[in-house]
């Protein structure tokens, strides 16, 4: 049962990721700018994270000075994801946009796991893992075709 809480957190995060693109798309439609909508999304997220950090954690930012250079790019990936989904969701539909994103995430995850990239512990690529990703990609094709 110790994995139940992390699973619940990830499930809730998945719900958040599903409602984020149409939320940001609504901002983009209203303003006429995907970039402004993405900026507002990140500004609000940053404010919330700052408040939580200030109230509960307060780890000194100086502790980050030893982080590898690539570790600073997480915000870039997030910004690109938010902007891409704010743009693509009204054009492709939410289900298509998210299944394409999940499919690409899983293929990338297999590669990162296999070679232990970005600080991960190397994980073998098994037939079951590949089959799971192939099924998700099949789901992408079904969602897009339906």
What residue ranges of the chain have pLDDT lower than 70? 1
pTM: predicted TM-score of the whole model, two decimal places: 0.81
- How distant is the alpha carbon of residue 74 from its chain centre? 10
Tens digits of per-residue pLDDT, 41-73?
A: 999 999 999 999 999 998 999 999 999 999 999
Contacts by residues 12-15 (CB-CB < 8 Å, ≥ 24 positions apart): none
As a whole number of angstroms, the distance between CA 19 and CA 3 comes to 25
Predicted confidence at residue 144, as pLDDT, reads: 83
pLDDT for the residue 101: 92
pLDDT at 1: 62
Tell me which residue of 107, 124, 106 sits closest to 115, measured CA to CA: 124
Question: Which pLDDT value is given to residue 143?
Answer: 85
User: What pLDDT, on a 0 to 100 scale, did the predictor assign at position 140?
Assistant: 84
């Amino acid at each position: 049962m110790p994995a139940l809480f992390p699973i619940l957190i990830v499930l809730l995060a998945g719900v958040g990721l599903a409602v984020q693109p149409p939320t940001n798309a609504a901002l983009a439609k209203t303003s006429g700018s995907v970039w402004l909508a993405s900026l507002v999304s990140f500004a609000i997220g940053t404010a919330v994270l700052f408040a939580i950090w200030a109230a509960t954690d307060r780890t000194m930012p100086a502790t980050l000075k030893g982080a590898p250079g690539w570790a600073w790019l997480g915000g870039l990936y997030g910004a690109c994801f938010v902007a891409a989904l704010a743009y693509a969701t009204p054009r492709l539909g939410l289900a298509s946009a998210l299944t394409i994103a999940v499919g690409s995430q899983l293929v990338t995850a297999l590669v990162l796991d296999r070679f232990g990239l970005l600080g991960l512990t190397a994980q073998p690529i098994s037939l079951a893992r590949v089959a799971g990703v192939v099924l998700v990609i099949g789901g992408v094709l079904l969602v897009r075709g339906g």
